Amino acid sequence: MTPILVLDQVSVKLPKGADRSHAMEEVTLSVAAGEILCVVGESGSGKSMTANAIMRLLPGGVTLDGGRILFEGRDLAGVSEAEMRKVRGAGIAMIFQEPMTALNPLRTIGDQIGEMFEIHTDLAKSAIRARVQALLEEVRIPDPLAAAKAYPHELSGGQRQRAMIAMALALDPKVLIADEPTTALDVTTQAQILELIRDLQRRKGTAVLFITHDFGVVAEIADRVAVMSKGRVVEQGTVEAVLDNPQHAYTQQLIAAVPPLKAPPPRAISDEAILTIDHVSKTYRTGGFLGRGQRVTHAVKDVSLVLPKGGTLGIVGESGSGKSTLARCLVRLIDPESGSIWLSGRDLASLSKEEMRAETRNIQMVFQDPFASLNPRHKAGELVAQGLIVHGTPRAGALKRARDLFSLVGLDPAAIDRFPHEFSGGQRQRIGLARALALEPKVLVADEPVSALDVSVQAQVLKLLADLRARLGLSIVFITHDLRVAAQVCDLVAVMKSGEVVEAGPIADVFGNPQHAYTRALLASIPGRGFGLKEAVLA
Amino acid sequence: MRIFALAGRRLVASIPTLFLILIGVFLLLQFAPGDTVDAMMAQMGGGDAATARDLRRFYGLDLSVMAQLGNYLWRLVRFDLGFSAIYGKPVATVIAERLPATILLMVASLSLAFFFGLILGVVAARGVNRWPDTLISTLGLVFYAMPTFWFGLMAIVVFSIYLQWLPAGGFEDITIGYQGLRRTLDIAQHLVLPTLTLGLFYMAIYLRIMRGSMLEVLNLDFVRTARAKGMDETRVVVHHVLRNALLPMVTLIGLQAGTMLGGSVVVESVFSLPGLGRLAYESVIQRDLNTLLGIVFVSALLVIVVNFIVDLLYARLDPRITTGT
Amino acid sequence: MGFVKLYFRSPPAVIGLILLLLVLGMAASAGWLYPKDPLALAGRPLIWPFTNPRFLLGTDNSGRDIAAQIFHGARISLQIGLVATVISVLIGITIGAFAGYYGGWTDTILMRVTEAFQTLPNFLLLLVLVAVFGSTITTVTLAIGIVSWPASARLTRAEFLSLRNREFVQAGRTLGLRDASLIFREILPNALPPVIVYASVVMAIAILLESALAFLKLSDPNVASWGNLIGIGRDVLRVQWYVSAIPGVAILITVLAVSLVGQGLNDALNPRLKGR
């Protein structure tokens, strides 16, 4: 097969003062018609810059610095801006990570798809409208007529991404660049979108450059893989070769960091319950005036769960399932409407604000975003000592304890005088963990603690958590959307959907022999299901 | 129409605000040294205490503050703004006579500010950090930093005294008594300098906002999508950036309607325009508290109306308002 | 890069700082260069600028030294601008912080009041306040502070609304922090920078408001205010336009300086947004 798009020794220079001189260094890639090439790498690897460089849509100050970008034999690096505009959209089209922000909020979907024809063809308005309808049907959007007239905010995330795909494929481009197109989507929607891309690509013979950080997605969709690290392609080859027999040390390390979907052998858990969630509900009322036209959302609906002492209870579900609301109810960041939360004989749900303040030392929370969860204006040691000081430890003692906690979570105790922005994402998450552990809580609520981290950092933090759990005998409520992570960490798991727990039990039972249809759908949607299992067997 | 329903709801919600303002200012004015009767007595050249007492009883000023407030609000509900002792006419009449000049000035200045603020903001943003941007931004800063009344005076010196192109003040040339189109032109000529004076200050603000929001929108994801479609920059700006960038500016117009009306007080004084702002100034000097309160009411009403129109405009621009997010 | 270095990288910000230092220098040296009362008669009325070395900027209608009034006026403008800004920003931050943090009814009521202040034209309210409480320099300063807080309140409230649900604030809450320390130690330091930058806008407007009041002869007549002088010069505008022109330039330079410094601070605080 002759490649349609070839990157030959392409380098991209960053402006002065950036953390490195080049975003891409001598990147050589190629993709042929009917082929899907996955470019995979962690954040900062330069994989997204590759897409921008091909489209010649580099951010300000960032410039091409040598190399050829051959599209159908012509070097795009040298053509005029006007020529380049003819290629964009018609020859090479692109879809983006976040379909909500990638679409203009003030114009209808049909209008924005139709624009493709307005720019590149002389079709009449009525013909354009017909083509738009056909495209929307092709991407299997429900009710294409209504979708064309809808504004982006009126569609769901998956529908918006379908619309983006319809737009990108409008002019049957030779090459489709997909920049993390499913990262912002829920797992079941992701599976549908991946299937759609694969299907359309097969039928139209499009060459697809698929950028992702997720090896599961790679296993699911790629024909060939290129692994990028720090702006360079460190390894490329067929999907089987790279995934099953990685050559480069970096690739090996990345692949080893992906948690396998199979749960490790069960641990012995005590029968004694430490936290009992008893018929907890929380509803939100939005809009409406004096009770008229009100919309009621059941964020959490009659949830009852038990966390055994020393155990880890996973709560999994997609966005909007209510798992985060439930977590926040447990620490009373949100007041549950009804039900009880029993923690060593006290009902947290019925405590007054003041009583709950005292009770916080028994139940602590770890947050998702390592950048947003630490106050940028306090020193790291200060952040960790804060809780102790509030609960009556003298300042000097609290800071001394903070140093101990720093070594406990694997950070340099001397770093307590630094500010949060001086730490990396993984280190910040360790600080968050140290802060929660400072009060020696009986229960730790972890809300997506590794979701914002790169896969290799994620593996380190998960290892630390498992380590601490064993050493300190922690009882943990672990919220996650990632079933692979849940499989590795949890003893018990509860699957939530639309505020309700649809299935709960020991992780091996729920994942190995799912009873509820939704659990089965969820498990079936995980990209690259088989991927990673071989390693688990070997280990 | 959902748009009207939504804007209408905002309109209804502003009624309590209106009453809050009136009650606040009414109570505030109770602290004023001297009341309307004192002002009338001064106007008449003094009088005895018995006359003053009779007049106070006649105007209901001998009642308790709360009773007076109640009376005032009750009359207001029936659109009765009371009587101006200084002008010897109902306050409503006095205000109605002065309203057209102010409204004309406001509409003209706002249009000038909006139109040129928009264009200059877009031009500056498209050539960011190059000479058109530097020139426009500098000019904007200077107009912003200039006291409006001083700009007005200097404009009079240049255009009325030296060049003698435009009249130095007044609303129209009453000595000639033009009719029809001729009169319209005459009024327009009189309004050129006041409009520039008031409008350029707001133009400076709008152009800064417009430039900023253009630059912000140009960085958003959907602009990258538009470029990836193969659109040229002009088309990107016209079809995708402009409408999004207008939203903050439209919001600002609503928020600043009150400030702009306040600015007309000074401008009307500089150009001796018989408008609401000048009336407010005169009422303060003459202690005509009834008229002052009436002006407060009408100004607040004007601001609320402007905000209603802004709400409609915003809802037209942004579909997320009417369909709910 | 350090904050100071970032600030000095921008030429407009440096120009603004130089102008501001100039005005500050005028204010500081007024008592020393022109020790006499600037409002006392000094010489023949209406001497043109640069014609008499004793009165470099000439004299006004009643023979008072314009240069002396400009130098002493710098004191008044800066003093009123600064004090009114502090009052206005303090009110704004307090109201905005409580409305944004507590939400619900507190928010509704506080925002209604803010809305009322924004619906009533601020200059009209200023006139009412001056009419009621008189026009001494203290009442004028207070009145300007009172009419100009709503924008800072809205800004603070918006910051609080976005910050109060940030994870670091929630983390503070789960640690058992009290509302007071959440508001003042966790949220406020993060909400403050944009409000401080906005204070430069408040100060510019405060200086302009005072000059407008003085121009209408509603400010304190016993202090040398630039606006007063412009108002006096209006009577002789046809020929001796310089009496009004000179103080106007002084106001222009001061407001420009304050705005440029504010913008420079803003750019230095948000280096990524540079050029916006």
Name the burial class of residue C262, with classes exposed (0-12), middle (13-18) and buried (19+) by CB atoms within 10 angstroms of its CB: buried
pLDDT band at A538 (very low <50, low <70, confident <90, very high): very low
Residues of A in contact with B230 (CB under 8 A): 85-90, 119-120
CA distance B145 to chain C (A): 5
Q: Give domain C3-29+60-273's CATH number out of 3.40.630.40, 1.10.3720.10, 3.30.830.10, 1.10.10.10.
A: 1.10.3720.10
Predicted confidence (pLDDT) at residue C3 exceeds the cutoff of 90: no
What is the CB neighbour count within 10 angstroms for residue A521? 14
Give the C-alpha separation, B205 to B216, whole Å: 17
Taking an 8 Å cut-off on Cβ atoms, the answer to whether B261 and C121 are in contact is yes
pLDDT greater at residue B82 or residue A464:
A464
Q: What was the pLDDT predicted at B122?
A: 93
Q: What separation in angstroms does the CA of C173 have from each of A431, B279, C169, C180?
A: 17, 54, 6, 11
The verdict on B303 touching C (C-beta cutoff 8 Å) is yes
A175-179/A92-95 β-pairing? parallel
Predicted confidence (pLDDT) at residue B146 exceeds the cutoff of 80: yes
Longest dimension (CA), chain A: 77
Q: What value does the mean pLDDT take over residues A470-490?
A: 91
Interface pTM, i.e. ipTM: 0.88
Predicted confidence (pLDDT) at residue A532 exceeds the cutoff of 80: no
CA distance C269 to chain B (A): 16
Q: Match 């009189």 to its residue by tokens.
A: B190
Q: What is the DSSP string of B75-135?
A: HHHTT---EETTTTEEHHHHHHHHHHHHHHHHHHHHHHHHHHHHHHHHHHHHTTTSHHHHH
Q: What was the pLDDT predicted at A434?
A: 93
Taking an 8 Å cut-off on Cβ atoms, the answer to whether C212 and B145 are in contact is no
Window B:183-202, CB contacts with C under 8 Å:
none
Beta bridge partners of A297: A284
The verdict on B12 touching C (C-beta cutoff 8 Å) is no
Residues of B in contact with C251 (CB under 8 A): 145-147, 150
Which residue of chain A is at minimal alpha-carbon distance from B325? A153
Tens digits of residue pLDDT in B211-231: 999 999 998 899 999 999 999
Give the C-alpha separation, B63 to B66, whole Å: 8
Q: What was the pLDDT predicted at A290?
A: 47
Q: What was the pLDDT predicted at B1?
A: 62
Taking an 8 Å cut-off on Cβ atoms, the answer to whether A89 and B229 are in contact is yes
Q: What was the pLDDT predicted at C1?
A: 55
pLDDT band at A534 (very low <50, low <70, confident <90, very high): low
Name the burial class of residue B245, with classes exposed (0-12), middle (13-18) and buried (19+) by CB atoms within 10 angstroms of its CB: buried
Q: How many helices (H) and strands (E) does chain C have?
A: 12, 0
What mean pLDDT is reported for chain A?
89
Name the burial class of residue B127, with classes exposed (0-12), middle (13-18) and buried (19+) by CB atoms within 10 angstroms of its CB: middle
User: By mean pLDDT, which of B311-325, C59-73, C262-276 is the weakest?
Assistant: C262-276
Q: Which partners does chain A have (≥3 C-beta pairs < 8 Å)? A: B, C
Q: What was the pLDDT predicted at A507?
A: 92
Q: What value does the mean pLDDT take over residues B120-146?
A: 90
Give the C-alpha separation, A469 to A446, whole Å: 13
Domains observed in chain B? 2-90 (no CATH), 96-323 (1.10.3720.10)
Taking an 8 Å cut-off on Cβ atoms, the answer to whether C186 and A432 are in contact is no
User: Of B109, B105, B128, which is closest to residue B117 (Cα–Cα)?
Assistant: B109
Q: What value does the mean pLDDT take over residues B65-73?
A: 84
The verdict on C192 touching A (C-beta cutoff 8 Å) is no
Give the C-alpha separation, B26 to B41, whole Å: 22
Domain boundaries, chain C: 3-29+60-273
Q: What value does the mean pLDDT take over residues C194-212?
A: 91
The verdict on A393 touching C (C-beta cutoff 8 Å) is no
Residues of C in contact with A357 (CB under 8 A): 176, 178
Residues of A in contact with C177 (CB under 8 A): 386, 390
Beta bridge partners of A3: A32
pLDDT band at C271 (very low <50, low <70, confident <90, very high): low
pLDDT band at B69 (very low <50, low <70, confident <90, very high): confident
The verdict on B134 touching C (C-beta cutoff 8 Å) is no
Q: What value does the mean pLDDT take over residues C186-197?
A: 89
Predicted confidence (pLDDT) at residue A18 exceeds the cutoff of 50: yes
Q: What was the pLDDT predicted at B13?
A: 83
Residues of A in contact with B318 (CB under 8 A): 105-106
Taking an 8 Å cut-off on Cβ atoms, the answer to whether B262 and C256 are in contact is no
A224-229/A36-40 β-pairing? parallel
User: By mean pLDDT, which of A42-51, A178-187, C234-243 is the weakest?
Assistant: C234-243
Give the C-alpha separation, C150 to C157, whole Å: 10
Give the C-alpha separation, A477 to C202, whole Å: 49
Please list, in sequence order, all residues whose beta carbon lies within 8 angstroms of the beta carbon of residue A368, skipping any fewer than 6 positions away. A447, A448, A449, A451, A452, C167
Predicted confidence (pLDDT) at residue A118 exceeds the cutoff of 60: yes
Q: What was the pLDDT predicted at A308?
A: 93
**What single-letter DSSP state applies at residue A22?**
E
Predicted confidence (pLDDT) at residue A357 exceeds the cutoff of 60: yes
